[in-house]
Amino acid sequence: MKAHLNGTVSSDMLTGLFAEKKWISSKFLYDEQGSQLFEQITDLPEYYQTRTEAQILLENLSAWKSVFRKPAALIELGSGSSKKTKILLDHVPNIESYIPIDISEEFLADTVTQLQASYPGIHIQGLSTDYTQPFTLPDFKGKKKIVFFPGSTIGNFEPREAELFLENIRSLLNPGDQLIFGVDRKKDEAVLKAAYDDAAGVTAAFNKNLLTRINREHEAAIDVDSFSHVALYNPTAGRIEMHLESSREQVLTLGGHTIEVKKQERIHTENSYKYDPEDIIRLGRASGFLLRRVVSDEREYFSVCLMEV
């Protein structure tokens, strides 16, 4: 989930900073530097998600082959560099067209050019939009559509938002169309915490970059070093939370607004919900999909789910 800032402080950022419990939407984590730091996170030894999902995709090729039994269109939400999709493009026949959707227009254009050269037999058409907002798909002339949403990004939605989001995706599909998406599973707290507070400090840099971005884009002068990264597991909500904690009392000035921050006060910057099988079933039911299959790794750290309209 990404967003652009453009000089004026967005209203949801202000709402969050003036709230009793301060928060900033996680979509603001992904400026250019934040996106690069996130790419580095995906390679960290502690961040098992990315490689586990890739392994699940590779180990269950027969499942994806049966999804694409007939020629179909593959639509990816938040495609980035389309790294995981290459597993499908390389191994699964009948992908007639591929529609990567990403908010970053320039990045998307480069990815499409590179992919088109590698997969000349597949029609590739990028769609630059914020997929969390309503959007329309090209006309596939009755061909089956498969939506691919890897990376456990669904976990960055609040549970009700996740249901509404999937409901919205379902409204773009026809009976028989399918959705493949990744979810991070509930597991040992120490494993989860390490994944969001790595020894090399990359996740801390990713979180703190939010303040650097605000300084740059809003001519603010927040002392970034006076905040530290906090990652904790909230077992009641079933989510990892990221916060920025102020080491001192201070006043933040941005876009003509002043925000008082107490010593040890936290700004909540991200939720990453973890799912167990019951949560997955509930999500499918609430969003009106039929849950067809859930495949997981041996440790049950991560699952890839297949749902159908």
Q: What share of the chain is helix, strand, coil (3-state, %, to 5)?
A: 35, 25, 35
Amino acid occupying residue 134: P
Q: Minimal distance in Å, beta carbon 142 to ligand AVI? A: 33
Q: Minimal distance in Å, beta carbon 252 to ligand AVI? A: 23
d(CA 176, CA 290): 10
How far is CA 71 from its chain centroid?
28
> 53 or 308, CB closer to ligand AVI?
53
For ligand AVI, the binding residues (CB under 6 A) are 41, 49, 151-153, 155-156, 196, 203, 270, 272
What residue number has its CB nearest to ligand AVI? 272
> 273 or 289, CB closer to ligand AVI?
273
Q: Minimal distance in Å, beta carbon 181 to ligand AVI? A: 11
> 104 or 272, CB closer to ligand AVI?
272
d(CA 175, CA 222): 51
> 11 or 133, CB closer to ligand AVI?
133
d(CA 249, CA 114): 49
Q: Minimal distance in Å, beta carbon 302 to ligand AVI? A: 11
Burial environment of residue 228 by CB neighbours within 10 A (0 to 12, 13 to 18, 19 or more) = middle
DSSP codes joined into one string, 105-140: HHHHHHHHHHHHHH-TTSEE--EES-TTS---PPP-
Q: Minimal distance in Å, beta carbon 102 to ligand AVI? A: 13
Question: CB atoms < 10 A from the CB of 245, how many?
Answer: 15
> 104 or 153, CB closer to ligand AVI?
153
d(CA 21, CA 281): 32
The structure tokens listed for 173 are 């599909």
> 36 or 66, CB closer to ligand AVI?
36
d(CA 61, CA 91): 7
> 34 or 124, CB closer to ligand AVI?
34
Q: Minimal distance in Å, beta carbon 157 to ligand AVI? A: 10
Q: Minimal distance in Å, beta carbon 140 to ligand AVI? A: 28
What is the number of alpha carbons within 13 Å of residue 211 lying toward its C-beta?
22
d(CA 173, CA 289): 11
